[in-house]
Structure 1
Amino acid sequence: MDYEKTLNIFLIGERSVGKSSIVLAYTKKEFDESLHTTVGIYFKSIIMDFCDYKVKICLWDTSGQDRYKDMTSNFYRNMHGAILVYDTSRPETLAKLKERADDIQQYSTKKNMVCFVVGNKIDKERAVPKKDGLAFAQKHNMLFAECSAKTNEGIKFVFEELLWNVRCFLFKYG
């Protein structure tokens, strides 16, 4: 084992908001125009140095399709962090995050889990004002950022901020 701590983070949101693209942008600094819809769960991990520890970051990319909702709710239980993703060009994807936020409250065993609302696809024509995403995040006591997995803008910030905010789980609770 070449790491000391494990951090589990899951990405949730409607289909085609760019969850898999965000994972790929962070882990490989790549964008793949031909990514297919995730079926069930997509898993990717990386090992990095963080606060003098070797940390394994496990990214669980959940399908946005309703038929997988029961399966993905099981993943909420032992996660340290959640990234709730919406598409800044599709307003309905932000509205649907309310259900995901409610699911986290219902199923998570870590009541202080760090949650991050992320508006993706800022490289496209905007249909959701930044203030709407921010208001949603504030209402649900979550962090907020916008990014583009396609251009890699904001991706590093999202994960660095999330890591910084979940450090208490890494170092206090394992």
Structure 2
Amino acid sequence: MGKTSKVVVCGMKGVGKTAILEQLIYGCVSLKSSFYPTIEDIYVANIETDRGTKERVCFYDTAGLEPPLTGPPQSPTMQLTANQVLQRHYLGFAEGFVMVYDTTRPESLDVLMYLKKDIDRNKDKKEVVMLVIGNRTGPDDVNCLENTCSKASNWCSKEKIRHFEVSAMDRPSLYEPFIFMTTKLNPVQNKTAFPQLSTLSKLTQKNNRSEAM
């Protein structure tokens, strides 16, 4: 375990961001649980990667965003209000973004479409890890030609980001996306970035042993 990775959890208000984090870390969320609207909370967890190593991750649970009035983003230059975008200081330090929507609320996916564009335009770090989580809170709308999950999956495929469906009430369903995020944030490091120095070190050790004889 080395560095602490910083991950921002974001999305429309009321989609279950806090419930997902509380369930993932503490496993104490039930249908009777109630949460106050988040301003900002910070959670720290040690999460196992798919290689079996444990890494420390700091999650920033952010205030829920307001939905846009016009549906999915049409213009990349469209101006959003302050309560429709992430506060700018998150974009300065975040190494990863977990974007959450409610599978029964199509407008919550629209929020992520705006949010992704805003993050891409304004993030300080060139390389960040993003994933999308659909929190399944009820059955799909049978009257809808394309349900929200299918729409999200298609959008994520175009944006080249991973999409996961979970339930905040089902703790095991949360493991895969957060193991994926933690693994991506902590790639395997090469033994040495300068193989020629490694070779030189071995030759020096060999010469020292020869002189000692």
- The verdict on how the C-alpha distance between 1:115 and 1:71 changes in structure 2, with shifts beyond 3 A counting, is closer
SS at match of 2:8: strand
One-letter code of the match for 1:80? E
Moved more, 42-51 or 27-36: 42-51
Residue by residue over 1:103-159, the C-alpha shift from the partner in whole angstroms, topping out at 9 and shown as x without a partner, is: 211222222211101100x24122434221111212222111010012225201110
Moved more, 108-117 or 5-14: 108-117
Task: For 2:47 and 2:131, locate their aligned partners in 1 and report how far apart those are by CA, in whole Å.
Answer: 20
Does structure 2 retain, via aligned residues, the 8 Å contact 1:5–1:53?
A: no
Matched residue, 1:13: 11
Give the paired residue count.
167
Matched residue, 1:84: 99
**1:155 and 2:169 matched:** no
Matched residue, 1:56: 56
Matched residue, 1:38: 38
Matched residue, 2:87: 72
Q: How does 1:95-106 map to 2 (within 5 A)?
A: 95-106=110-121
Task: For 1:146 and 1:80, locate their aligned partners in 2 and report how far apart those are by CA, in whole Å.
Answer: 22
- The verdict on how the C-alpha distance between 1:153 and 1:136 changes in structure 2, with shifts beyond 3 A counting, is farther
**1:139 and 2:158 matched:** yes
Task: For 1:70 and 1:92, locate their aligned partners in 2 and report how far apart those are by CA, in whole Å.
Answer: 15
Does structure 1 retain, via aligned residues, the 8 Å contact 2:92–2:125?
A: yes
If the length of structure 2 is used for normalisation, what is the TM-score?
Answer: 0.70
SS at match of 1:8: strand
**1:125 and 2:139 matched:** yes
For the pair shown, the structure with the greater C-alpha radius of gyration is 2
SS at match of 1:77: helix
Over the aligned positions, Cα root-mean-square deviation in angstroms equals 2.3
Task: For 1:153 and 1:129, locate their aligned partners in 2 and report how far apart those are by CA, in whole Å.
Answer: 22
Does structure 2 retain, via aligned residues, the 8 Å contact 1:7–1:80?
A: yes
If the length of structure 1 is used for normalisation, what is the TM-score?
Answer: 0.84
Task: For 2:179 and 2:65, locate their aligned partners in 1 and report how far apart those are by CA, in whole Å.
Answer: 28
Matched residue, 1:111: 126
SS at match of 2:116: helix
One-letter code of the match for 1:125? P
One-letter code of the match for 2:167? S
